[in-house]
Structure 1
Amino acid sequence: MATTTDTKNYKFNHSMLRVKDPKASVKFYEFLGMSLVKKLSFPENKFDLYFLAYDGPGTPSHGNSVFDREGVIELTHNYGTENDPEYKVNNGNSEPHRGFGHVCITVDRIQAACQRLEGAGYRFQKRLTDGHMKNIAFALDPDGYWVEIISLRAGSEGPEDPEEQGAETDPKTYRMNHTMLRVKDAEKSLKFYQEVMGMSLLRTMEQPAAGFNLYFLGYPGSQGGFTADREGLLELTWNYGTEKDENFKYHDGNSEPQGFGHICVSVDNINAACERFEGMNINWKKRLTDGRMKNVAFLLDPDGYWIELVQNERFTGKDNF
Structure 2
Amino acid sequence: MATETSQYKLNHSMLRVKDPKESVNFYEFLGMKQIRKLEFPENKFDLYFLAYDGPKSASTGNHWSDREGVVELTHNYGTEDDPNFKAANGNSEPGKGFGHLCVSVDNIQAACQRLEDAGYKFQKKLRDGRMKSIAFAIDPDGYWVEIIGQNPADKTENVKETDTGVYRMNHTMIRVKDHEASLKFYQEVMGMTLMRTAENASANFNLYFLGYGPKPPEFGTAQKEGLLELTWNYGTEKDPSFKYHNGNDEPQGFGHIAVSVDDLDQACERFESKNVTWKKRLTDGRMKNVAFVLDPDRYWIEVIQNEKLKPSSNW
TM bucket (normalised to shorter chain) is over 0.9
Hey, what does 1:240 align to over in structure 2? 234
Q: Secondary structure at the match of 1:278?
A: helix
Aligned amino acid, residue 269 of structure 2: E
Distance 1:32 1:10 in 2: 26
Quick one: distance in 2 between partners of 1:320 and 1:104?
30
- Asked if residue 320 in structure 1 is aligned to residue 314 in structure 2, the reply is yes
Amino acid at match of 2:105: V
Q: 1:75 aligns with which of 73, 82, 100?
A: 73
Q: How far apart are 1:154 and its partner, in Å? A: 2.0
| Secondary structure at the counterpart of residue 177 of structure 1 | strand
Aligned partner of 2:103 in structure 1 is 105
* Residues in 2 aligned to 1:320 and 1:120: alpha-carbon distance in whole angstroms: 39
CA distance in structure 1 between the partners assigned to 2:133 and 2:28 by the alignment: 23
Q: Give the superposition deviation at 1:97.
A: 1.7
| Whole-angstrom CA distance in 1 between matches of 2:88 and 2:221 | 30
Structure 1 window deviating more from structure 2 (86-95 vs 163-172): it is 163-172
CA distance in 1, matches of 2:263, 2:29: 35
- 1:264 corresponds to 2:262: no
* 1:38 paired to 2:36: yes
Structure-2 separation of matches of 1:238 and 1:285: 24
Q: Secondary structure at the match of 2:308?
A: helix
Tell me the equivalent position of 1:254. Answer: 248
Identity %: 70
Offset of 1:111 from its aligned partner?
0.8
Deviations 1:178-220 (A, max 9, x none): 0000000000000000000000001000000000000000001
- Superposed, 1:45-194 pairs within 5 Å as 45-156=43-154, 161=155, 163-194=156-187
Kindly state the Cα deviation for residue 5 of structure 1 after the two structures are TM-superposed. 0.4
Residue 27 of structure 2 is matched in structure 1 by 29
Instruction: Specify the alignment match of 1:219 in structure 2.
Output: 212
Q: Deviations over 1:250-291 (max 9, x none)?
A: 000000000000000000000000000001111000000000
1:303 and 2:297 equivalent? yes
Q: Distance in 2 between matches of 1:262 and 1:244?
A: 26
Aligned length: 313
Question: Residues 1-46 of structure 1, C-alpha deviation per residue, up to 9 Å, x if partnerless?
Answer: xx81000010000000000000000000000000000000000000
Q: Take 2:206 and 2:86, find their aligned partners in 1: how far apart are those partners?
A: 30
- Asked if the contact 1:216/1:235 (under 8 Å) is kept, the reply is yes
Please give the secondary structure, in 1, of the residue aligned with 2:88: coil
Amino acid at match of 1:263: I
Contact 2:95 2:252 in 1 (8 A): no
Q: Which amino acid aligns with 2:6?
A: K
CA contact (8 A) 1:128 1:135 kept: yes
Match of 2:288 in 1: 294
Asked whether the equivalents of residues 313 and 320 of structure 1 are also in contact (C-alpha less than 8 Å), the reply is no
TM-score by length of 2: 0.97
Aligned to 1:6: 4
How far apart are 1:227 and its partner, in Å? 2.4
Q: Which amino acid aligns with 1:124?
A: F
SS at 1:315 equivalent? coil
Check whether the contact 2:261–2:267 (CA below 8 A) recurs between aligned residues: yes
Look up the SS of the partner of 1:48 in the other structure: strand
Unaligned segments of structure 2, at least 5 residues? none
One-letter identity of the residue aligned with 1:188? A
Task: State the Cα distance separating 1:78 from its structure 2 match.
Answer: 0.2
Given that residues 124 and 136 in structure 2 are in contact (C-alpha distance below 8 angstroms), is that contact kept between their aligned partners in structure 1? yes
Q: How many angstroms does 1:319 deviate by?
A: 5.3
1:105-134 Cα shifts (integer Å, max 9, x gaps): 001111111111111110000000000000
Gaps in structure 1 of 5+ consecutive residues: none
Q: Please report how far the alpha carbon of residue 59 of structure 1 lies from its aligned counterpart in structure 2 after TM superposition.
A: 1.4
Code of the residue aligned with 2:200 in structure 1: it is Q
The SS at the match of 2:54 is coil
2:303 aligned with 1:285: no
Matched AA of 1:35: K
TM-score by length of 1: 0.95
Q: CA RMSD in A?
A: 1.1
- Is contact 1:311–1:320 with CA below 8 Å preserved after alignment? no
Cα distance in 1, alignment partners of residues 137 and 63 from structure 2: 29
**Distance of 2:314 and 2:118 partners within structure 1:** 36
What is the alpha-carbon distance in structure 2 between the residues aligned to residue 93 and residue 154 of structure 1?
A: 26
Q: Which amino acid aligns with 1:238?
A: W
- The alpha carbon displacement at 1:320 in A equals 3.3
